[in-house]
Structure 1
Amino acid sequence: MRTLLFILITCLSTFTRAQDAEALFAAKLTDAQEKPASLAGFRGKPMIVNFWARWCSPCRDEMPEIRALENKYRAQGLAVVGIAIEENSANARDFLKAYEIEYPNFFAGARGTELLKALGNDKAGLPFTVFIDRQGKLIGHKLGRISRSELEAAADALLQ
């Protein structure tokens, strides 16, 4: 139990008081078919949302870990979502195929920077991962590459 608590504290060391994730649910995104999309359909689900870009080396490094997490926790009700801080393009879609990413991914384009800031990432750095509980509260975030153990600790906490 202490180990799990330590991992949670380490993983979510950027905790601030829980804040509403409404900016995320209200964001205007596009899906892989270039149609307008939003995350409103994910309300009420525990979520891990990862912001990425093709040119971001740590983003590429963590994608297999996030894919494995989504495969492991999907049946338990955890929603894993990716948001690209770039425009929807054939190159971006090919990138997702190359990494065998099947969990939902959306494209924020130039609006992505403002969304990052609204969720607590003042520097708008990548990668950036947020943790949202069933009540739609942003309970933590991590700026920088996230490890499998950090992801699993966050998933376990969100699913309790």
Structure 2
Amino acid sequence: MERKTERLAWVMLWLLALPMLAWAQDAAPLFDAQLVDAQDKPATLAIFRGKPLIVNFWARWCSPCRDEMPEIKLIDSQYRGRGLTVIGIAIEDNSANARDFLKAYEIDYPNFFAGSRGTELLKTLGNDKAGLPFTVFIDRQGKLIGHKLGRISRGELEAAANALLQ
């Protein structure tokens, strides 16, 4: 039964990956991007290289982003101890309003702020429309193995998390 579940997780992840422009695209632009952390200090995601990642791009004004955040938070709490890292990247500045938003949603996974540079980062990672929400899946080798434009479901997140941890 466990093998069947593993195969299903892989199938789900590959279905998510179908819209990608290139299979196993290098995620280096994500690791090199100049961001700001919650303490308003310059940051990059280089410290997360070598870890399986789910990276969610969001904004306060994005209704589907707000809708999916509780599911992403749940996946983070369920899989963090197994080695998966969940990261949020806001397509806005690190303002008091954005920090208050994260606090109100009780988001405790790492979040960074890309400001206006976030739109170009989205496009670099395969989101030609620069729409939100946008979630990418990165394996331990730093390869972008899938992405999802639009609200992501709990089932899609679980499938991706299980596949990334294989």
**Which of the five TM-score ranges fits, normalised by the shorter chain?**
over 0.9
What is the Cα deviation at residue 17 of structure 1?
1.1
Q: Which amino acid aligns with 1:97?
A: K
1:11 aligned partner:
16
1:82 aligned partner:
88
Cα distance in 1 for partners of 2:104, 2:71 equals: 15
From 94, 99, 106, the counterpart of 1:100: 106
Matched residue of 1:50: which SS? strand
TM-score calculated relative to the size of structure 2: 0.93
Matched residue of 1:101: which SS? coil
TM-score calculated relative to the size of structure 1: 0.96
**Structure 2 residues without counterparts, runs of 5 or longer:** none
Asked whether the equivalents of residues 13 and 142 of structure 1 are also in contact (C-alpha less than 8 Å), the reply is no
Matched residue of 1:125: which SS? coil
2:52 aligned partner:
46
Deviations 1:64-122 (A, max 9, x none): 00000000000011010000000010000000000000000000000000000000001
2:120 aligned partner:
114
From 109, 129, 134, the counterpart of 1:123: 129
Cα distance in 2 for partners of 1:64, 1:159 equals: 21
Matched residue of 1:109: which SS? coil
**Structure 1 residues without counterparts, runs of 5 or longer:** none
Q: Which amino acid aligns with 1:155?
A: A
- How many residue pairs end up in the alignment? 160
Asked whether the equivalents of residues 49 and 82 of structure 1 are also in contact (C-alpha less than 8 Å), the reply is yes
Cα distance in 2 for partners of 1:45, 1:65 equals: 21
Matches within 5 A, 1:115-154: 115-154=121-160
* RMSD of equivalent CA atoms: 1.2
What is the Cα deviation at residue 7 of structure 1?
2.9
Cα distance in 2 for partners of 1:4, 1:69 equals: 14
Cα distance in 1 for partners of 2:121, 2:45 equals: 13
Matched residue of 2:156: which SS? helix
Asked whether the equivalents of residues 83 and 106 of structure 1 are also in contact (C-alpha less than 8 Å), the reply is yes
Identity in percent = 75
